[in-house]
Amino acid sequence: MRRWGKLILCVGAGLLAAGCPKGRQQYDAGLKAETLQDYDTALQYYQKALASEPNNSHFRIKLNQIRFEAGEFHIKKGLALREKGDLQAAAAEFQRASTIDPSSPVAVQELRRTLDQINELAHKQDEQASGGEDIAGNELASSPPELKPLSNAPVNLKMVNDVKIIFDTIGKFAGLTVTYDPDFPARRISVDLNNLTLQQALDIVCMQSKTFWKPITENIIFIAQDTTQKHKDYDEQLVETFYLSNTVQSQDLTEIANGLRQVLNLTKVQQLNSQNAIIVRDTPDKLAIARKLLKDIDKAKPEVVVQVEVLSASTERLRDLGILPGQSASVTFTPPGSTTSSSSSSSSSTTPTGIPLNAGFSTADYTYTLPGATANFLLTDTKTQIIQNPEIRSVDVGSRVPIATGSFQAGVGVGTTSVNPLVNTQFTYIDVGVNVSITPRVHPNHEVSMKVAIEVSQVTGTATIGGIQQPIIGQRKIEHDIRLREGEVNILGGLFEKTDSKTVNGWPGLAQIPFIKYLTADN
């Protein structure tokens, strides 16, 4: 007996193991790995689950979701490594993220930026190895000279005199040589400088005398009138090329170039659409501001993944109980004395015009039809079901239904029924099903505002118009503006419809009596 029990237990365990699909086991293992934030392992399990059941939409949705989460995990890890200065490891993480989620533009942009930093660092190391003197000479030629006074002691000066004498006095304090523009006019000003740096003292005197200064060498400065023409004559202009990494279309590059012109009043700006770059020629100060603006503007466009679940919350219940009796009976009389004769060439029948009162009736003289009865015992129940559960940026799912649109000819078929006024029939297709339209906008605090429009439509019936069956489309639409944080769930709303109807079909009077109504009527 024990042997039979063990045998039955083994057979039952084998049947249970055979009944569990392999895809479900892989899916459960992926869920456990995802709970532990081991996204790479979870991705492998979900891929195996989908390979075993390719038509399982739930597995496919989960695979797309974990692909996005795994890519984001490697991107965040790469950013942390790049902040620490480990560019090689950061590039490997971005490469991994791009391989896992090829549709992620953030991974591609961060990988390109990291590789540029690696190449720039290698280029600097090569230049340093080639010779420091050449590098110092090139930097001196490519950038404006930096002022290096002999003394950095604070300037304390109180004087009322000609502006040239005041500049010369400050120059002697710092060990600088001061030169002037040939058109520099004489002007008497009063200054009171207390414990100021050299640059602050020069700026204050220039502001009072309406002049500007600029370094010529490390210990020589030049003074000129603060006019547009003098700035045009003496300001040094540099050329710099700015390469942008996150502009996709040429109009984006044009918009940035126009913004630089408006904000910085630049006149010499050239955009290169083929190189995705902007060339600017202006003073070092404006170039520094332009560099700061472009660094702030050239950001990767944020990516938004939205999970949408559309539910059809409908409950329909039908109960049909009772016996539906017959509602009509018929009796047909055949008068006695009716004769029928026939021959090979003709046939004739004779029917009396009346029924004698003294004639007797038999069952052969009439026929009757009695009503029948139908017993109904029916109960139907419809439960809530999910229509769609996609993970989207924008979704347009459903079928297309043809709608006939006609062109009419004036005067044809008017007032008559023989001519159809519809000359020719044209068909157009309407999207039917679940249509989701989402326009997201990412804010600096990592919140996302979305303009959402969800439309659920279906064909509820048909109607004949002009001899053509036209579909009747039921439509439910919700439009809403929402603002959510990352991972936050929002319920837009729902439309619940409840219809109660009661139909009684039976014999009058008896159909209203309790208990008897189930034998004489259908409820």
Place of tokens 């399982």: 56
How do beta strands 310-312 and 306-307 pair? unpaired
> DSSP labels for 298-358?
--PPP---EE--EEE---EEEEEEEEEE----EEEE--TT-EEEE-SS-EEEE--SS--TT
Q: Model confidence at 301, in pLDDT bands (50, 70, 90)?
A: confident
Q: Model confidence at 278, in pLDDT bands (50, 70, 90)?
A: very high
Distance of CA 279 to the CA centre of its chain: 34
Cα–Cα distance, 206 to 194 (Å, whole number): 16
- Between the alpha carbon of residue 157 and those of residues 152, 200, 364, the distances in Å are 15, 12, 146
Q: Output the pLDDT for position 375.
A: 63
Q: What is the CA radius of gyration of the chain?
A: 46
Residue range 438-453, pLDDT digits in tens: 888 888 777 888 888 8
Question: What are 132's two structure tokens?
Answer: 């420091």
What lies within 8 Å, CB to CB, of 393 at 6+ separation is: 304, 305, 306, 438
Q: Has residue 165 been placed in a domain? A: yes
Q: Output the pLDDT for position 9.
A: 53
Tell me which of 234, 255, 286 is where a domain ends. 234
Q: Model confidence at 485, in pLDDT bands (50, 70, 90)?
A: confident
**Beta carbons of 226 and 206 less than 8 angstroms apart:** yes
Residue range 24-35, pLDDT digits in tens: 888 888 888 888
Q: Model confidence at 363, in pLDDT bands (50, 70, 90)?
A: low
Q: Has residue 259 been placed in a domain? A: yes
Same domain for 306 and 215? no
CATH number of the domain at 288, please: 3.30.1370.120
Same domain for 503 and 389? yes
Same domain for 165 and 177? yes
Q: Output the pLDDT for position 352.
A: 54
Residue range 220-243, pLDDT digits in tens: 999 999 888 888 888 888 888 999
Q: Has residue 500 been placed in a domain? A: yes
- Between the alpha carbon of residue 167 and those of residues 159, 187, 199, 523, the distances in Å are 11, 12, 12, 110
Does residue 15 surpass a pLDDT of 50? no
- Between the alpha carbon of residue 34 and those of residues 23, 49, 173, 267, the distances in Å are 16, 14, 70, 55
Same domain for 380 and 510? yes
CATH number of the domain at 97, please: 1.25.40
Same domain for 226 and 254? no
**Picking from 386-390, 393-397, 480-484, which range would have the lowest pLDDT averaged per residue?**
393-397
Mean pLDDT of 154-180: 90
Mean pLDDT in the chain? 75
**Picking from 6-20, 143-157, 305-319, 320-334, which range would have the lowest pLDDT averaged per residue?**
6-20
Same domain for 496 and 390? yes
Same domain for 429 and 517? yes
Same domain for 160 and 257? no
How many structural domains does the chain have? 4
The parent domain of residue 108 ranges over 21-126
Q: Has residue 138 been placed in a domain? A: no
**Beta carbons of 69 and 76 less than 8 angstroms apart:** no
- Could you tell me which residue, 133 or 328, shows the higher pLDDT? 328
Residue range 169-217, pLDDT digits in tens: 998 888 899 999 988 888 899 999 898 898 899 999 999 999 998 888 8
Same domain for 106 and 244? no
Residues 154-164: b if buried by 16+ CB within 10 A, e if exposed: ebeeeeeeebb
Residue range 245-274, pLDDT digits in tens: 888 788 888 999 998 989 888 888 999 988
Same domain for 264 and 284? yes
Is the model's pTM score more than 0.85? no
Tell me which of 212, 234, 256 is where a domain ends. 234
Cα–Cα distance, 329 to 507 (Å, whole number): 13
Mean pLDDT of 46-56: 85
SS3 content of the chain, % helix, strand, coil (to 5): 35, 35, 30
Does residue 287 surpass a pLDDT of 80? yes
Handedness of CA 139, 140, 144, 150 (dihedral sign): positive
Q: Has residue 85 been placed in a domain? A: yes
Q: Output the pLDDT for position 99.
A: 87
Q: Is 340 exposed, middle or buried (0-12, 13-18, 19+ CB in 10 A)?
A: exposed
Q: Has residue 14 been placed in a domain? A: no
Q: Output the pLDDT for position 139.
A: 47
Same domain for 428 and 460? yes
Tell me which of 234, 253, 272 is where a domain ends. 234
- Taking the CB of residue 261, how many other CB atoms lie within 10 A of it? 14
Same domain for 382 and 509? yes
Q: Which helix (H) or strand (E) holds 195?
A: strand 188-196
Distance of CA 89 to the CA centre of its chain: 31
Q: Has residue 361 been placed in a domain? A: no
Cα–Cα distance, 206 to 160 (Å, whole number): 15
Does residue 489 surpass a pLDDT of 80? no
Q: Has residue 86 been placed in a domain? A: yes
